[in-house]
Structure 1
Amino acid sequence: MSTATFGGALRQWRTRRRVSQLELAVRAGTTQRYVSFLESGRSAPGRSMIIRLAESLAVPIRERNELLLAAGFAPAYGQGRLDAPELGPVRAALENILRGHLPYPAVVVDRHGDLVSANAGFYAIARGIAPRLLAPPVSVPRVLLDPEGLAPRIVNLDEWAWHIVDRLREESERNPDERLRALADELAAQAPPRRTPGPQYLGFAVPLRLRHGDGELRLITTLTHFGTAVDVALAELRLEAFLPADEPTADALTALVHEA
């Protein structure tokens, strides 16, 4: 956090979310005057008020801990490791979800897009890419867009690369993160010139079109977050599934997984 005081940090988050003092006050069940006093340092917030304000601004729980610390309180949310024994049931649930998506590719990544776990479908479509890209820590955005990754096989790379870059940039702006910003800049430098989506654009999602044999795989992606997590590591996980956009793709993915 770049601002040392709680009031300055609160103002930064409110400005970032484009929320007025009045709107924040209504959301948090307080008054505009009180929010103004908090931001100017004329009032000191209580612990519960900090959490209410953070929830009202959709501040990630990692940064909610920082807000609490800035105001002199202990963190409210745990920050365990995913390999900790107490998160064993969560890991088991994630593996079940990944298996449940088979034969379709699915991955679990952290807030930087680094691979936490993947199913056989993901490794099937990643077959043949440079081994360095699958050496831990595996960056899924790099697997997709690196010149030695899937990029040469992506038919609509000029559309899909910018879909990934824009998503990374939006996330790094919404929840500031230098590493995400640097990754977005790195991938943008490798991307083809941006252009308007073509006639194959589905309207609700940019399809990932991968060359496969004499044809192509047409995939759409879905993202799932743990919306009620109270542990930082768990809250930052994201499940990304690559689903077939047509029947031939579904059949081809089934065959790919069985060949593995």
Structure 2
Amino acid sequence: MALPRTHEPSVGALLRGWREQRRLTQLDLAERTNVSTRHISFVENGRSRPTSEMILILAEHLDVPLRERNQLLLAGGYAPAYSQHDLASPSMSAVSEAINRVLAGLAPLPAVVVDRRWELVAANDAIDLFTAGVAPHLLEPPVNVLRLSLHPDGMAPRILNLPEWKAHLLDRLARQAAAARDSALDDLHAELSAYSAHGPCSRTEAHPANTLVVPMRYQSPRGALALFTATTVFGTPTDVTVSELAIETFYPADPASAAALTASRP
């Protein structure tokens, strides 16, 4: 007996999905790309087969991640346009060296490099501030940085403002999952949401009206620290791996925290 065929979504259906995800009408996309609404409609309903150039133009204006742009091209019958190399490969030596220089230069500020699903790629020595007291199983590769932060056996018991920090991380993760249309991030969000937001040291704090960022307040081996994060990404990447890397750096939010971190500099 013949097995039923499985049908992969057409390139038109995939493009329509991305357009709807971005909450754009066909007219909105037409105005952004200088392509007629008629042609966009024909592409989406399968009446017209887009060229590889057209797929990339539409994907660019829909802010489709590079990994998914390759999938769009494959669905349209074309070869992928963006390479994907392992960070340890010789062709990525310049990127690896840049990451190592940045991480070393940021010390004594804790900094990590994560991929698109928040798995740890690299870190500087200052990250020991956060891993002290963490259960060993959470530090076994692949280490998920968000799980490490919010798991009851991870950093959570030492995050003094755990309820608001958890809400911040979950909101960020939800927006990332929606933007990337990545079900694995949805699953991670569901897992992290189930963790308790109340640890032995946690409390909800009111912030002054002039607060610019909500810091993570952490009971570290060097005392209580108030830290906020900044994210750095590579500009104009043409490799999938590079496009998905981000450097998360923790900066002191007050003079006491700055002094505590600076005191650790050799």
**Superposition TM-score tier, normalisation by shorter sequence:** over 0.9
Aligned to 1:39: 44
Tell me if structure 2 keeps the 8 A contact 1:124–1:256: no
Q: 2:191: which partner in 1?
A: 186
Give 1:101's aligned residue.
Answer: 106
Native 8 Å contact 1:168 1:180 kept in 2:
yes
Give the conservation status (yes or no) of the 8 Å contact 1:120–1:257.
no
**Runs ≥4 in structure 1, deviation > 6 angstroms?**
none
1:144 aligns with 2:149: yes
Which deviations, in whole Å up to 9, do the C-alpha atoms of 1:120-176 show, x marking residues without a partner?
A: 111233222112222211111111111111101111100001111121121111112
1:71 aligns with 2:99: no
| Corresponding residue of 1:161 | 166
2:249 corresponds in structure 1 to 241
Partners of 1:162 and 1:191 within 8 A in 2:
no
Letter in 1 for 2:68: E
Alignment of 1:1-260 (within 5 A): 4-192=9-197, 198-199=206-207, 203-212=211-220, 215-256=223-264
Report the count of equivalent residues: 256
1:206 shift after superposition: 2.2
Q: Cα distance 1:243–1:196, how it changes in 2: closer, same or farther (>3 A)?
A: same
Shift in Å at residue 191 of structure 1?
3.5
Write the distance in 2 (CA, Å) between the matches of 1:256 and 1:138.
25
Give 5+ residue unaligned stretches, structure 2. Answer: 1-6
Question: How far did 1:180 drift?
Answer: 1.2
Tell me the secondary structure at the aligned position of residue 194 of structure 2. Answer: helix
Q: Which moved more, 1:136-145 or 1:119-128?
A: 119-128
With 56-65 and 147-156 compared, the bigger mean Cα shift is at 147-156
Q: Distance in 1 between matches of 2:210 and 2:120?
A: 27
Identical amino acids, percent of aligned pairs: 46
CA distance in 2, matches of 1:105, 1:168: 21
Whole-Å separation in 1 of the counterparts to 2:205 and 2:106? 28
| Structure 1 residue 256 displacement after superposition | 4.5
- For the 8 Å contact 2:129–2:220, the answer to whether it is kept is no
Q: CA deviation at 1:217?
A: 0.2
Moved more, 172-181 or 12-21: 172-181
How big is the alpha-carbon RMSD for the aligned residues of Structure 1 and Structure 2? 2.1
Q: Distance in 2 between matches of 1:214 and 1:136?
A: 27
Q: Deviations over 1:154-203 (max 9, x none)?
A: 1110000111112112111111222211111111100328x987226874
Q: 1:57 to 1:196 in 2, by over 3 A?
A: farther
Instruction: Tell me the SS of whatever aligns to 1:107.
Output: strand
| Secondary structure, aligned partner of 1:219 | strand
Q: Is the 8 A contact 1:201 1:207 kept in 2?
A: no
1:227 deviates by 3.5
User: Is the 1:107–1:117 contact (alpha carbons within 8 Å) kept by the matching residues of 2?
Assistant: yes
Asked if the contact 1:7–1:39 (Cα under 8 Å) also holds between the matched residues in 2, the reply is yes
